[in-house]
Amino acid sequence: MADLNRQWLLAFRPDGDFDESAFRLAETEIPSPDEDEVLVHNIYMSVDPYMRGRMRAGKSYAKPVEVDGVMEGGAVGEVLESNHPDFTAGDLVEGRLGWQDYAAVNHRAIRKVNPDHGPISTSLGVLGMPGMTAYFGTLKVAEAKAGDTLVVSAASGAVGALVGQIGKIIGCKRVVGIAGGAEKCGYVKSELGFDDCLDYREFGNDTAALQAALAQACPDSIDVYFDNVGGWISDAIYPNLAFGARIAICGMISEYNQMEIELAPRITRHLLVNSARVQGFIVSNFYDQWPAAIEEMAGWLRDGKLVYREDVIDGLEHAPRALVRLFTSKNFGKQLVKIRDWNG
Amino acid sequence: MADLNRQWLLAFRPDGDFDESAFRLAETEIPSPDEDEVLVHNIYMSVDPYMRGRMRAGKSYAKPVEVDGVMEGGAVGEVLESNHPDFTAGDLVEGRLGWQDYAAVNHRAIRKVNPDHGPISTSLGVLGMPGMTAYFGTLKVAEAKAGDTLVVSAASGAVGALVGQIGKIIGCKRVVGIAGGAEKCGYVKSELGFDDCLDYREFGNDTAALQAALAQACPDSIDVYFDNVGGWISDAIYPNLAFGARIAICGMISEYNQMEIELAPRITRHLLVNSARVQGFIVSNFYDQWPAAIEEMAGWLRDGKLVYREDVIDGLEHAPRALVRLFTSKNFGKQLVKIRDWNG
């Protein structure tokens, strides 16, 4: 056990694109848990697109991280000490534990992880926040159903890869991904079983060309679009909507770094003529339904119906680099940082 | 009874703005009803924003009117002859009867009008398509509820005037209209009982200024926006959304004449951070629920909870002018054309 707690702090609020200099490593004492708190020794931490929003001062769905505050993020670890009856030393837990070795957090910020469901890193991916995002976004927000044509952007990413597989599991007629590069598109088709995958890099920001390619890839139009990226890629979806289409807005990684909102063609007409719906969501809206969903996803995982891929960087000291990788599309699979060895 | 049937035909498909020359008056024989058809002698006809879509060749939620075809539209009239058991001579009926004196239509294109509910012209307004649009759009699509802040554009129009009043009836905390000109805004506040009404003409297409005025008028942000206009006015709504906001897209009169879709700031971020929803709809999605809704609206009308205003032009020969009035914001209240006198 380290004597000190390494913590990544937000050094300043970067404008637009950012690099590793936005973060600063500090060392502090290992905290003691207060009343109702639990002390956790982290094992893996997650790196996710939403973190860009936490670095920004403006209004979002959660409060920003303070400058010189510990970066927020999901992590999985082992309970060392508990001042709440729901948890005991040795429990594996996942929650808002932050970019650090040790966290003393309120019991409400964590949940128990069942190691029988899979490797503990899955609690940050397929059986954690990204998995729940894919599950509820696809089934509850977009209300995907058998017979639908489903399109998902960032299709090889932590969420997108699951969205398409869930679509196939429930009987979608056609599942089409959008991803960056031939390697990712090949993976989406051959490993994940999507019917098709368009490489957005071939279209060089040309919305009209991508729109035409989507029309070809989706001959019966698009019933469901699961949007992870926003921007010009998503603009190409709207002219291809089917009547009654549902769009779930989960993320907008292409827009997170923008300081000014870009102009794009208005979508009013497409929504009106198709009685179509666009719904933004955050997965915490469904928090009370996570346990049942995790069971169902764990079942699909056991049955080989769901596959996933992890992109693990070793060492807490590399956490900022992991986030930069995500925002420069360098990752391939769920981006994780391994904080320490763990045998369990 | 006239010997001939006057009909307004679509002369050509106008690009962008249009005038009365887009229509051509013809005279034909009075038709005979076929099997399952009903012959109706029209009394009032309705003029509505959706008609612009029918004049366009492109994809919409309904097939376009053919060039040289009779203009489509709702009308109310009296049955002269019926070849279907649901209707008999003397019945008052409303439906897709077109811009003409006489129509022979399939029984499924019409519904009976109950004259006890109010003057028969209300079957084209508060107790007809616009009323149902307001009712279902507000209550089912936008799911407005007690305590909400509700904003509606085209607030003095046939639909908007009802949306705000329905909002007050169900207990919305604050109902704010957007309308063009001091006279209409005054009417919206004093006659319709809205809490406030913004005159968009004061903002000269300046979305940022309207956005700031909306922020002042809606101190707790906007839970429901009922959109009748689209364009720059609606752009000002999105930065003012409350968490969980619902937007019903009913129309886009400011965009119907556009040949190219305009650019506007993307709304992704606003939907994402607020878990907000935008839903396009057409009132025919709810057709099976009309009878109960008409009863409820008729009750509110009887109880003086709903008021309405009509803008009636006398004479079928003026129908094109009535539509041009609507698209140049000259009307004040539900735009109707009186085709003939009727005492009932």
B153 touching chain A per CB within 8 A: no
Whether B212 shows a pLDDT value over 80: the answer reads: yes
**CB distance from B215 to chain A under 8 Å?**
no
pLDDT of residue B251: 87
A118: helix, strand or coil: coil
Q: What pLDDT is attached to residue B253?
A: 79
User: What SS3 state is found at B70?
Assistant: strand
What is the CATH architecture assignment of A129-284?
3-Layer(aba) Sandwich (3.40)
CA-wise closest residue to B168 among B280, B289, B300, B302: B300
- CA-CA-CA-CA dihedral for A162, A165, A169, A174, to nearest 10: 130
Chain A residue with the nearest C-alpha to that of B235: A266
Distance CA A328, CA B28 (A): 68
Contact: A264, B262; criterion CB under 8 Å: no
Residues in Cβ contact with B202 at an 8 Å cutoff, skipping those fewer than 6 apart: none
What is the C-alpha separation between A40 and A108, in angstroms, rounded? Answer: 13
Residue that wins the pLDDT comparison between A259 and B114 = B114
ipTM for this prediction: 0.90
Do B277 and A279 lie within an 8 Å CB cutoff? yes
The tokens describing B174, both together, are 């604050």
Q: What's the start-to-end Cα distance of chain A, in Å?
A: 16
Of residues B251, B265, B285, nearest to A261 (C-beta): B265
Select the residue from A278, A286, A287 to test the B interface by mutation, using most B Cβ atoms within 10 A: A278
Check whether B63 has a pLDDT greater than 90.
no
Query: Count of CB atoms within 10 A of residue A330's CB?
Result: 12
Q: How confident is the model at residue B57 (pLDDT cuts 50, 70, 90)?
A: confident
Q: Dihedral of CA B188/B190/B193/B195: which sign?
A: positive
pLDDT for res A59: 66
Q: How far apart are CA B41 and CA B30, in angstroms?
A: 10
Residues of chain B neighbouring A273 (CB-CB closer than 8 A): 53, 59-61, 280
Amino acid at B268: T
- Report whether A188 contacts A177 (CB < 8 A): yes
Distance CA A133, CA A130 (A): 5
pLDDT value of residue B2: 52
Q: What mean pLDDT do residues B304-321 have?
A: 97
Contact residues for B44 (Cβ-Cβ < 8 A; gap 6+): B75, B76, B120, B121, B124, B312, B336, B337, B338, B339
Q: Does A261 contact B266 at a Cβ distance shorter than 8 Å?
A: yes
Q: Do A263 and B268 touch (CB under 8 A)?
A: no
DSSP A218-230: -TT-EEEEEESS-
How far does CA A15 lie from the centroid of its chain?
22
Local mean pLDDT, 10-residue blocks, chain A (344 residues): 86 94 97 97 95 85 91 97 98 97 97 95 97 98 98 96 98 97 97 98 95 98 97 96 98 78 91 96 94 97 96 97 93 95 82
Name the band, by pLDDT with cuts 50, 70 and 90, for residue B257. confident
**Partners of B313 in the β-ladder:** B337
For residue B42, the SS3 value is strand
Sequence-distant (6+) residues with CB within 8 A of A24 are A8, A9, A10, A11, A68
Record: contact B269-A251, CB cut-off 8 A: no
Cα distances from B158 to residues A271, B145, B191, B308, in angstroms, run 22, 21, 14, 8
- Closest by CA to A223, choosing from A256, A193, A200, A247, is A247
pTM: 0.92
Q: What radius of gyration do chain A's Cα atoms show?
A: 20
Q: Which residues contact A37 (CB under 8 A, 6 or more apart)?
A: A83, A84, A104, A105, A106, A107
Q: A197 has which bridge partners?
A: A177
Q: What would the mean pLDDT of B55-83 be, rounded to a whole number?
A: 92
Of B59, B251, B282, the CB nearest to A275: B282
CA–CA gap between residue A221 and residue A133 (Å, rounded): 24
How close does chain B come to A109, measured CA to CA in Å? 21
Name, in order, each residue with C-beta under 8 angstroms of B290's C-beta and a sequence gap of 6 or more.
B111, B132
Count CB-CB contacts under 10 A for residue A290: 20
- Look up residue A168 and give its amino acid: K
Cβ within 8 Å, pair B279-A277:
yes
Radius of gyration of chain B from Cα atoms?
20
> Which DSSP state fits B71?
P
Residue A269, SS3 per DSSP: helix
Distance CA A95, CA A74 (A): 5
Please name which of A246, A199, A250, A248 lies closest in space to residue A229, comparing C-alpha atoms: A250
What letter represents residue B141's amino acid?
V
Chain A contact for B287 (CB, 8 A cutoff)? no
* CB of A281 less than 8 A from some CB of B: yes
> Does the pLDDT of residue B60 top 90, yes or no?
no
For chain A, what are the domain ranges?
4-124+309-338, 129-284
**What are the phi and psi torsion angles at B296 (to 5°)?**
-65, -45
**Cβ atoms of residues B116 and B20 within 8 Å:** no
Contacts of A280 in chain B (CB under 8 A): 268, 270-277
- Residue B344: its pLDDT value, please? 64
Give B 16-55 residues with CB within 8 A of chain A. Answer: 53
Cβ-based contacts of B270 with chain A (< 8 Å): 280
The Cα–Cα gap between A210 and A203 comes to: 6
Nearest CB partner across the interface for B275, out of A230, A277, A280: A280
Closest chain A residue to B54, measured at CA: A273
Over chain B, what is the mean pLDDT?
Answer: 95
Closest CA to B258 of A269, A236, A207, A237: A269
A4-124+309-338 belongs to which CATH class?
Answer: alpha beta
pLDDT at A176: 98
Helices within A32-81 (DSSP H only) = 51-54
Chain A residues with CB inside 8 Å of B276's CB?
279-280
Q: What kind and span of H or E run contains A207?
A: helix A207-217
Chain B residues with beta carbon closer than 8 angstroms to that of A267 = 267
Contacts of A272 in chain B (CB under 8 A): 61, 249-252, 280, 282
Residues contacting residue B57 through CB under 8 Å, at least 6 positions apart? B13, B64
Alpha helices in B180-305 (DSSP H): 182-190, 207-217, 231-235, 268-273, 290-302
User: Is A307 near chain B, with CB under 8 Å?
Assistant: no
Question: Tens of pLDDT along A242-251?
Answer: 999 999 999 8
- H or E stretch covering A204: none
